[in-house]
């Protein structure tokens, strides 16, 4: 005979407990009419209990689960910036001829509020993210991305990442650029038209990376002050950034 699951056993135990309580009530107090009235009163309140459990408690549990997933996802994003993102963003921003237009806005400090982050996020949405294709060392960029491709693939295997569209787009753009560079035999002898094409792929990564970096800084500022401190001191947009505390 197949054994009952723990859910069935639990249900049977709870129903048995209820019947036992009602039988004891009847045995001690008598008055079956009052017992039946109590049973029906309880049944009348049952839909409200279901509503409360289904809509309210389930919503609270969903919010808690979402917060937990976001926490884990931000840990993954933090690992990405430690291994890839910060160095790559520094490299790309160094080849942005217009960076001085927004550099001062991106010097995040400990005094920033939520409004400051929102203001800069809005500024970044309208920024052009230019790159000087002629000055970029494509071979160096290719080597950097190729060496970290396996690492990014492992990140992409994390189910939580798929719930974050912006970060997934960033990884997809990085894989695309890596493949574009991989297919070219000699990156030092490309026609101007091809360099312009690659510059477009680089600008895509640059834009996604900058916006994701600011979102991550906002998360650190709120929840992890000690990590935020190091992130401020290694700001890829700050020419005077230094991990040394002065």
Task: Please report, for the chain, how many H helices and E strands are present, in that order.
Answer: 10, 0
The two tokens of residue 35 are: 């017992």
Buried b vs exposed e over 74-83: b needs ≥16 C-beta within 10 Å? bebbbebbee
pTM (global) more than 0.85: no
DSSP 191-235: -HHHHHHHHHHHHHHHHHHHHHHHHHHHHHHHH-HHHHHHHHHT-
Ordered per-residue pLDDT tens for the chain, 246 residues: 456 677 778 778 878 887 787 777 777 766 777 667 766 777 666 777 777 777 777 777 676 766 767 777 888 899 999 999 999 999 999 999 999 999 989 999 999 999 999 999 999 988 989 888 788 899 999 999 999 999 999 998 887 787 788 899 999 999 999 999 999 989 888 898 999 999 999 999 999 999 999 999 999 998 889 999 999 999 999 888 888 887
What are the boundaries of each domain within the chain?
Answer: 6-60, 72-233
Choose among 138, 150, 127, 133: nearest CA to 209: 127
Q: CA 3, 5, 11, 14 torsion: positive or negative?
A: positive
């Amino acid at each position: 005979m197949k054994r009952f699951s723990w859910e069935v056993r639990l249900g049977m135990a709870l129903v048995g407990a209820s019947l036992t309580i009602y039988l004891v009530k009847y045995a001690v107090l008598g008055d079956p009419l009052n017992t039946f009235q109590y049973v029906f009163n309880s049944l009348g309140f049952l839909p409200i209990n279901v509503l409360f459990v289904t809509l309210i408690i389930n919503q609270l549990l969903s919010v808690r689960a979402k917060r937990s997933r976001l926490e884990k996802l931000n840990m993954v994003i933090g690992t990405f910036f430690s291994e890839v993102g910060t160095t790559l963003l520094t490299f790309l921003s160094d080849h942005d001829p217009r960076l001085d237009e927004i550099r001062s806005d991106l010097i995040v400090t400990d005094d920033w509020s939520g409004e400051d982050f929102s203001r800069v996020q809005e500024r970044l949405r309208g920024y052009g993210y230019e790159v000087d294709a002629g000055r970029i060392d494509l071979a160096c960029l290719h080597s950097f991305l190729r060496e970290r491709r396996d690492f990014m693939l492992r990140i992409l295997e994390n189910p939580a990442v798929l719930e974050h569209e912006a970060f997934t787009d960033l990884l997809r753009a990085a894989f695309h650029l890596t493949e574009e560079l991989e297919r070219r035999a000699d990156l030092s002898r490309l026609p101007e038209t091809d360099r312009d094409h690659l510059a477009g792929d680089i600008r895509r990564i640059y834009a996604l990376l900058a916006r994701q970096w600011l979102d991550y800084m906002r998360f650190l500022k709120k929840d992890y002050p000690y990590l935020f401190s190091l992130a401020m001191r290694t700001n890829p947009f700050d020419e005077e950034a230094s991990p040394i505390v002065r």
